[in-house]
Structure 1
Amino acid sequence: MKDPIDASILRQDPPKHRQLRMLVAQAFSPRVIEGLAPKIEAIAHALCDQIELGGIMEGLHDFASPLPIIVIAEMLGIPQEDRALFKQWSDSLVGNNSEQYYQCQREMSVYFTDISNKRRREPQEDLISHLIRAKGEEEQLSDLEVISFCILLLVAGNETTTNLISSAMLVLDSDPSVREQLMADRSLIPQALDEVLRYYSPVQMMIRTVKETTILSGHTLSPGQMINLWIGSANHDEEIFENPHIFNIHRNPNPHLAFGHGIHNCLGAQLARMESKIAIQTLLERFPEFRHHHSHVLERIDSWIMFGVKEIPIILKK
């Protein structure tokens, strides 16, 4: 059986890419995403309620990670008790261990096949049911394509946003002037997050296959050649960004490539922006003095694809 990720929209060209994207784009329309705002705000405050009760906070595991996982799980229609599996699987998919990479795809294929079969018998108002209903129309999804969508949405829907939120938390800790500006004017949060996306690109690189002979900066790329697209490097390009080594929330324009480009531009970009905006707004409202516990040395996650940290112990008050 073909690996689900290889069958996903991520690795398809037109016309197949266009067909697949149109089917799932309805679930990520601006109207649908805007309608999720109250739910996301409720989730963010519920997580902060739990943190407040405990009196301590591990920024990643208590907040930055569960928020997007809960959102995408509810969109897919996944039972609450299975959410812990989501984090385990998504970590394996972006990690450096090839055995875990393929094993988690096998496990997810079994899991989502079972969910899909249940939705065929008893459709619900969730994204998996939407994908199932798409079968039988002119644009049909195969069983593998349904599974590949679920797997891709799982990872794209939480891993990248988790790392965006956690990186933004570290910025607020390391640069007091940024926190002061955002506390004074919350309307600056979206552009501050865009600078986080540029400076700490959650997705650092992507692999692509050359389709036709191309000359790039004096180098000839041949059909069939595999290349690494270093998004993190592109977002620090001196020819595009003035003083790219400086974090500047007032950078304008800010044409970063954190969400990709062209036909493969991230379908969930608006959702990621909304989730991270609400996350930072909520943290500043609930714990305005939060800061990283500096006795803890930050460690990068074991991934050459993604940028993020393993843990962020947080002190809630000075």
Structure 2
Amino acid sequence: MHPSFDTMSMFKNRSLFTVTIDGIVEASLLASGDDTEVIYHRLSAGAYWTLEPESQENPANGPLETIYLTAGRLTVFSDSEELTLTEGDHISFHPVSRQIVFYGDMESTFLYICSKPVFHHYRSSLEEVNHLALTIEQKDGYTSHHCTRIMQMSMKVGQAMKLAPSELYTLQFGAYLHDVGKVRVPNELLNKPGRLTDSEWELMKRHTIYGREILLETGLPYLTQASLLVAQHHERHDGSGYPFGLKGADIHIGAAIIAVTDSYDAMTTDRQYRRAKPAADAIAEIQSLRGTLYHPDVVDAFLKCL
């Protein structure tokens, strides 16, 4: 006996679960059974998404994983290989033996079919990112939408510098969560209208260390990788930054990118203790600090993106 039209409509219009990360991805579990899941994805233009190999002794037993593109265009990267998927194309892996990075050339939607239940873990990891981002915004009003702006600007700079897709994927989350350590900084410091005392400033600077610790505590591989960028995003090219006083090539290039985009956004945004600078003044200041506070190649790419 065939299902009734009403029953078919119910399944047609309702996903089992939906989770999103603002400006990156939306995922909905459409169907699940016999250890197979069908997950709908919407990937924003300019955003990255990955498939990772399973950590197991016999990777040949990994699940079959298929991507079917329903709209848009995706570029797929794996090591030095690159291909483009357009509407109606699909690609399968059995198993995923190395990191596969997908880039949204435009806003794209696709079905991800996996012969092993993965959505529960996947949903938990995305909700963890959302929780961290929401916690930052609730803790520090200044960072409302600041994280998304830094992510978007940083990704443009990283692409202009031709970073590897895997580096861009890490930069995406490092930039988005660069200020997550502020959740462990007392409110009176974050919201203080005047300048901080020396002891208060030392405590404020620890938000970089706290941020790294928070991302490491998640145990999620992509956040573990991004934690290094979070720890170093206030390092400066000449060694005058914090918390480690790193300089030049010792600073992760992703952190050097966030340093510039974060500084620009801070200069052009009203703060508790000062008004925003005009964009032209902020640009002039960043240009004047090229090669001292900021990585010269990053500054050049940033100015081209502007």
TM interval, short-chain normalised: under 0.3
Greater helix share, 1 or 2?
A: 1
> Which protein has greater RCO, CA pairs closer than 8 Å, 6+ apart?
1
Greater strand share, 1 or 2?
A: 2
Normalising to structure 1: TM-score of the pair?
A: 0.25
Normalising to structure 2: TM-score of the pair?
A: 0.26
- For the pair shown, the structure with the greater C-alpha radius of gyration is 2
